[in-house]
Every structure is written in structure tokens, then in C-alpha cells.
Amino acid sequence: MSLSNRNCPALELDKLRVVFHPGTPNERVALDDLTLTLESGDFVAVIGSNGAGKSTLLNVISGAVLPDQGRVVLEGHDLTGMAVHQRAAYIGRVFQDPMLGTAPALSIEENLALAAKRGLRRGFGLALNNANRKRFAELLAPFGLGLETRMRVLAGKLSGGQRQVLALLMAALRKPRLLLLDEHTAALDPGTADLVMQATRRIVEEEKLTALMITHNMEQAIHFGNRLIAMNAGRVHMDVGRDVKKGLTVDDLVKRFGEAADHQLLKA
């Protein structure tokens, strides 16, 4: 299946509903008829408190969680029933835990070779050859981590930040129709997080990717991307574009987001 319907929005989430433990005292509505549309090239930062449904949102898009209701439509094609490995043809994902984004027992170059076949048929040709080794090294070099000289080192031997940069490159190695970033700097120290965010911006801008980034960091949410969404109780509570975002401060955000959250509390 090729996705080529360029007139459709990059991503349409149509009334997504996810209820965990339905019919038990632990019942929790994780996504409450959430509807959201991303235009091609949107780089959306998503904030929200714990339990607001951010992770569930990414899991429903990636296919790790199937919605009880609603549809996930990518460039006009319905992905709702597809398995994770099938959607992987169109979606790149970086996990929060640096341990999860790479395969620790494989070398840097093997990780990249594994990612280079995302969405393609895997055959019985050797995964690594001089040509793609050279290409991988050239792609790693601009990040300035020196990884390009350590291609045969196991990914498990890298630091958290190095692994996240590798994971980022792996997710974008074959241009994804959608890049999902799941708090991918949350486990890093501030300096490293900054480095990974610069790398993220570079990749998203150079490849003109459509990206959805969950973050706990309000500053990050303001500084990166062209759109900011705040989630609360499984819904989108605030959705502002680049112009409004530019003028926002962290205090504004806390205040506005706080009001939205209070409003929700009052309603409930």
C-alpha cells in the first residue's frame, strides 16, 4: 500500500476513545472522543499532566493500543486495524526510555541496518556492506558525538544521550510519514536533553517531517515546533499555533493550562 494522497491531512484522529479496565472499579477513560488533525509538516508539542492520555495517544497512533472507538487516518488511509509492525512502514517512533529505542545487543551499525529496512521486505542479503556503512557514518557525523568512528560498538555501551540520538536517526532513517517522540528527552540530563532536541529540530526541519512530540518540559513545548497542544482527561484542551506560541511564557502556559484543568475538574 502506498500513501500518496497529498490532499488529505497528514494525520486525522477521529473521535478516539480508549477505556482501560471497563466495567471494573478501576475503569479509566484514557482518551475521551479525542479528535485532532495534523497538517503535513506540523511539528506538534503535546503537554499534559500524568494520566492526561498523552502516552495512550501515541500508543493508539503507533498501534500498540487499539482504540475502543474512533479511527486513525494517515494521509487518507485508515490505519486503525493495522498491527504495529505494519504501521511501522509509515511511522517512526522514539521511546522515552533510551534502553527501548535501540537494540542494546546489536552494534551501532547493526541498529541502523535494522532501521534502514523499516517498512521494506527483508531478504537474505547481508545487512551491512561498505556502501551502507559509509552512508550510516556520514549520517551520524553531523551530530558531533563521534559515533561515526565507533560503528561496531554495541548500542548498549552508549550513554543515554548517545542512544537517543541514535534512536532518533533510526526513526528517521527512512523518511517516516509521521514521527512520534515519546518524551524522548525526559530521561536525560538538561545538557544532553538540549543536544538531543537540537538533533530533533535538525532532522524534522531537514526532512520536512510531520511530528508529534510528547514532553513534560513546558519550555521545550514553547520553543520547539509550530503548534502546541495541551491534553487533559483524554481530550485536547488547548491548541495554539506558532503565532500565539511565540508570545507564550512558561507562566502563561501553566496559568492557561491550569485554568483548563480546573475547568475540567469543575465539570466533573
Partner 1 sequence: METLSLFWNLVPVTLVQGLIYSLIALAIMIPFRVLSVPDLSSEGVFPLGAAVTTALMTAGLHSVWATLVAVGAGFLAGVTTAMIHLKFKVHSLLAGILTVTMLWSINLRIMGKPNTPLFGFETLYEWISPEILGSLPLQIVLFGIMAIILILALWWLLQTDVGLGLRGIGANPQLAPALGVSLVAYTAAGLGLASAISALAGALMAQLQGYADVGMGIGMLVNGLASVIIGEAITGRSTLLRQISAPVVGAIVYYQLSSLALALGLNPSDLKLVTGLFVLLTIGWPYLVGRKVSSTGL
**Residue 175 three-state SS:** coil
The x, y and z cell numbers of residue 7, run together, are 490532499
Stretch of 16-24, 113-121, 157-165, 251-259 contacting partner 1, by CB under 8 A: 113-121
Stretch of 9-17, 66-74, 97-105, 201-209 contacting partner 1, by CB under 8 A: 97-105
Long-range contact pairs involving 134-143 (C-beta distance under 8 Å, separation at least 24):
136/108, 136/109, 136/112, 139/112, 139/169, 139/173, 140/108, 140/166, 140/169, 142/202, 143/169, 143/199
* Cell 524522548, residue located: 184
114 vs 261, beta carbon nearer partner 1? 114
Q: Which of 8, 19, 29, 100 binds partner 1 (CB under 8 A)?
A: 100
> The dihedral of CA 204, 210, 216, 222: what is its sign?
positive
In the complex, what is the shortest distance from the CB of residue 185 to partner 1, in angstroms, rounded to a whole number?
18
Q: Which of 39, 78, 105, 146 binds partner 1 (CB under 8 A)?
A: 105
* Cell 477513560, residue located: 29
Site for partner 1 in 170-189 (CB under 8 A): 170
The x, y and z cell numbers of residue 174, run together, are 527512512
Tell me the C-alpha distance between 8 and 40, whole Å: 9
Q: Binders of partner 1: how many residues, by CB under 8 A?
A: 33
Q: Binding to partner 1 by residue 56, rule CB under 8 A?
A: no
- Asked if residues 199 and 168 have their Cβ atoms less than 8 Å apart, the reply is yes
The x, y and z cell numbers of residue 179, run together, are 514521527
Q: Which of 3, 8, 128, 153 binds partner 1 (CB under 8 A)?
A: 128
Give the list of residues 6+ apart from residue 158 with CB closer than 8 angstroms, or none: 102, 108, 147, 166
Stretch of 36-44, 122-130, 140-148, 227-235 contacting partner 1, by CB under 8 A: 122-130
Q: Which of 3, 8, 19, 106 binds partner 1 (CB under 8 A)?
A: 106
Q: Binding to partner 1 by residue 84, rule CB under 8 A?
A: yes
Q: Binding to partner 1 by residue 59, rule CB under 8 A?
A: no
Q: Which of 8, 19, 29, 114 binds partner 1 (CB under 8 A)?
A: 114
In the complex, what is the shortest distance from the CB of residue 118 to partner 1, in angstroms, rounded to a whole number?
5
Tell me the C-alpha distance between 254 and 46, whole Å: 14
Query: String of b and e for 112-133 (b: at least 16 CB within 10 Å)?
Result: bbbbbebeeeeeeeebbeeeee
Stretch of 17-25, 46-54, 81-89, 229-237 contacting partner 1, by CB under 8 A: 81-89
**Residue 203 three-state SS:** helix
Q: Which of 23, 25, 123, 247 binds partner 1 (CB under 8 A)?
A: 123
Q: Binding to partner 1 by residue 89, rule CB under 8 A?
A: yes
Stretch of 8-16, 45-53, 68-76, 84-92 contacting partner 1, by CB under 8 A: 84-92
Task: By CB under 8 A, name the binding residues for partner 1.
Answer: 62, 83-86, 88-89, 91, 93, 95, 100-106, 110, 113-115, 117-120, 122-128, 170
